[in-house]
Amino acid sequence: MNIAAFFDIDGTLYREGLIAEVFKKLVKYEIIPSDRWYKEVKPEYDRWDKRQGNYDNYLLKMADIYIEAIKGLHKSQIEFIAKNVISQKGDRVYTYTRDRIKWHKEKGHKVITISGSPIELVREMSIKYGFDDYRGAAYVLDENDIYTGDVTPMWDSESKKKAINEVVDKYQIDINESYAYGDTAGDFSMFSMVKYPICVNPTNEILKKVLNDEELNKRIQIVVERKDVVYNLKPECINSF
């Protein structure tokens, strides 16, 4: 059986949210009106930036507008934008997780990304960093490859659990010897399923969940990367607000 390492992207590998980058492109190309950024998204961003709001709320607000914006577009348009985003921004990753991908590949482990970002972006990041497989939020296409406005999410914990089970069967993975890297509540199922869960730059919400889970608390590793320093923290030293 194979050992796998499951990686979230947004906030875990990539230093922000990939959907924020594609959102900016859609505004630039006037697919999304700029006033929607100022009226609907920026207030959520400002609340998070001031540490008064939830980062997930900021991302989910962009995701809601993104679903509306791409309805009626052809998949080639979003694929073009996704390629440009990763070409221009794909190197903005954390040193820790980039090095861990390299370490797992050297060990012969399967490296798989399971991300809530649009599948087109996840595919490009998967190619760039040599992942063996990937799963992302799938925005539904009709028979003419036009986006319908429907989406199969991959940002919630239950969806990620289902994706891992599919990958485990596909690659004959020994989940009891595998690893998972994530940063938000959507990654909780990944942490619960593997032997080696690593919480990277975690949100307060996921910290509360893992610290209050007696079994997971024994196995969790908490990593914080700031500037050019990586900190490994013990759960008992964490103050969750």
Mind giving me the DSSP string for 136-205?
A: EEEEEE-TTSBEEEEEE--SSHHHHHHHHHHHHHHHTB-GGG-EEEE-SGGGHHHHHHSSEEEEES--HH
Give the CA radius of gyration of the chain: 18
Give the CATH number, domain containing residue 202.
Answer: 3.40.50.1000
Please compute the mean of the pLDDT values over residues 35-54 and round it to a whole number.
79
pLDDT over 90 at 132, yes or no: yes
pTM of the model as a whole: 0.90
Give the up-direction half-sphere exposure of residue 67: CA atoms within 13 A in the CB hemisphere.
Answer: 14
Mean predicted confidence (pLDDT) in 182-198: 93
pLDDT at residue 239, as a whole number: 63
pLDDT digits (tens, 9 = 90+) for 199-241: 999 988 888 898 888 889 889 999 999 988 999 887 776 765 5
Indicate if the pLDDT at residue 31 is higher than 90: no
**What is residue 193's predicted lDDT score, i.e. its pLDDT?**
95
Tell me: pLDDT of 176 over 60.
Answer: yes
Asked if residues 136 and 117 have their Cβ atoms less than 8 Å apart, the reply is yes
For residue 66, what pLDDT is reported? Answer: 84
Q: What pLDDT is stored for residue 63 in this prediction?
A: 80
The stretch 59-73 carries a mean pLDDT of 84
Task: Find how far residue 195's CA is from the centre of its chain.
Answer: 20
pLDDT, greater one: 45 or 124: 124
Cβ atoms of residues 82 and 121 within 8 Å: yes
pLDDT band, very low/low/confident/very high, at 50 (cuts 50, 70, 90): confident
Q: Which domain holds residue 29?
A: 4-237
Does 174 have pLDDT greater than 70?
Answer: yes
3-state secondary structure of 86: helix
C-beta neighbour count of 233 within 10 angstroms? 14
Q: Tally the domains of the chain.
A: 1
Instruction: Give 226's strand partners.
Output: 229
